[in-house]
Structure formats: structure tokens, C-alpha cells
Amino acid sequence: MRLTTFASGSSGNCALLSMDGVHLLLDAGISCRRIRQQLRLSGLEPESLSGVLITHSHRDHICGLAVLLRACPLPVLASQGVARELRKKSVAGVEPCLRELPLDTTTEFSGLRLRCFPTPHDTAYSVGWRVEGSECFALATDMGTVTEPVRRGLLGADAALIEANHDVELLRYGPYPVSLKRRILSDRGHLSNAACAALARELEESGTRYLILGHLSQENNRPELALRTVRSALGDAAGVFVAPAQERLTLETEEALPCCW
């Protein structure tokens, strides 16, 4: 299994998951030009992809989707709620590509088993993803708290990309307006480093070997601070890495590469 993050944060989210010869794009929140460039660095073209998994319809997760589909009409896998939001936003070219998946139900796709699960975020619908083949990968970012559906979706994965959005003190005393601070700190906002650390401990105890911290705020967090907070909660069983905001991070489960930012 190989995971390559292309971008992770409020300015864009996109990653490539390769497992058992199948290549899946995780969100398309950067330009199609950048997606093509990043795929080529991985030795792939858009036509090499089996599909695109969408977590939710915020711009930083879908802004490159319409142009990508115009170039290559790939299957777009989304929960029924997220699919409705994509239609409501009139994302060009998405309708014939949509494949709606019910929540918390395993679906066979290209030889893999996919399951989306609800995440609490400030949009009508938001999900995380679990992908199972010879190994298991799970993704859950953009959530204000860790719910039982999130735990069920993440626990036992070999590798997981989870959110470490902010340090609470940096956020509270930072430049954001009070209304935005309240939204981020709410149960439908974003996960703090401390909350991420508690979740990471649960994942390590369930057998997760690789943890990637994503969606870090550039104003209210620091990669080294997120790493230190999460690592302090863990034993020695799991490796921890940070997904950079705008650069690549590649993680192979056979050989974990060092984090970079």
C-alpha cells in the first residue's frame, strides 16, 4: 500500500491511495493541472485511476473535480448525501460519473472493499473513508469531535490519515475573529492536536502502524507541535508523519519514508 498526499489543509486537499494495483484519488481540492503533475510524479495519468472518493463538498475538497472529469470521466464515489450536495452545487460533468454509496455499508469496487462513514463537520454531509484489500487504509479529517461511527471507521486500519488541525492555545490567542474560533472549536469544526492524540492512541492500540496527520492549520498549528503532541500519547508501535500543506508526502507500508514539510 502506498499513500501520497498532494495537498492537505484549508487551501486544498488531495491524495493518491494505491493498493493491490488499484489507484484511487482521495478528494480533488487542487487544480486539475496540479493533480496531473502530481500523478505523473507517481508514474500515473488520470486514466490510471479507478475512481475518486469524495469526503464532502467544500471547495478545498472538490475545486479540481469538474475539470478533472472533463479530461477523464472517472467514477466519483460519494455517500448519498455528498452526492446530493455535488448535484446542488452543479459540479459540471459529475452526474453521469456519480456512484452513490450508503453510509456504513461495505461496497465492492475494483477488487477493494469501500465504506464511507459520517464525520461531524459544518456541512450538510461529510464522511470519512475506509478502504480494505490486502491491507486497510482509513481517512477522517474535517471533524469537530470523534464519534462512534468515526471510531468504527478508523479502528484496526493499518494506516490512517487523521486530522490535527490546531493547537487550542494558538487558536484562542490567534488573529481569527471570535465567530470563526467558535466554529473551529465546536463539535462540527476541526480536531485539535490534543483530540487527535487521544484518537491516535486508540488507533495504535487497535493495531494501526502508520498515522498521517493532516489538515493542519497554517495559522493555528505547527508541524513539529502536532507531531510532539501526538507522539507523546503513543507507545512505540506506530510511526507518525505530517502531511504538508502544499508539498508531497509518500508513505509506503513496507518502508515508511520520513515526514517532510
Q: Is 249 helix (H, G, I), strand (E, B) or coil?
A: strand
CATH number at residue 111: 3.60.15.10
**β-strands 76-79, 98-101 pairing:** parallel
Cβ atoms within 10 A of the Cβ of 24, count?
24
Question: Number of structural domains, the chain?
Answer: 1
Confidence of residue 87 (pLDDT cuts 50, 70, 90): very high
**253: pLDDT confidence band, cut at 50, 70 and 90?**
confident
Query: What mean pLDDT comes out for the span 126-153?
Result: 97
pLDDT at 28 over 90: yes
**Number of Cα atoms under 13 Å in the Cβ half of residue 89:** 17
What residues are paired with 79 via a beta bridge?
A: 101
Distance CA 27, CA 129 (A): 11
Domain holding 113, by residue range, is: 2-252
- pLDDT exceeds 60 at position 188: yes
Tens of pLDDT, residues 37-76: 999 999 999 999 999 999 999 999 999 999 999 999 999 9
Q: Does any domain span residue 202?
A: yes
Question: Measured over all CA atoms, what is the biggest interatomic distance in the chain, rounded to whole angstroms?
Answer: 48
Q: Is residue 151 part of a domain?
A: yes
- Residue 137: which residues within 8 A CB-CB, separation 6 or more? 1, 3, 17, 19, 130, 131, 157, 158, 159, 160, 161
Question: DSSP string spanning 83-138?
Answer: HHHHHHTT-TT-GGGEEEE-TT--EEETTEEEEEEE---SSS--EEEEEESSSEEE
241-251 average pLDDT score: 93
Q: Which of 146, 232, 161, 238 is nearest to 197 (CA)?
A: 232
Per-residue pLDDT, 120: 95
Classify residue 258: in a domain, yes or no: no
| Selected residue with higher pLDDT from 68 and 261 | 68
Strand order across the beta sheet in which 127-132 lies? 107-109, 112-118, 127-132, 136-140, 159-163, 210-214, 239-242
Domain membership flag for residue 257: no
Q: In residues, how long is the chain?
A: 261
Helix 223-231 to helix 193-206 angle (10° resolution) is: 50
**Residue 142: inside a domain:** yes
Residue 124 is predicted with a pLDDT of 77
Report if residue 116 sits inside a domain: yes
What does pTM read for this prediction?
0.93
**What local confidence, expressed as pLDDT, does residue 143 receive?**
95
- Does residue 259 fall inside a structural domain? no
Q: How confident is the model at residue 259 (pLDDT cuts 50, 70, 90)?
A: very low
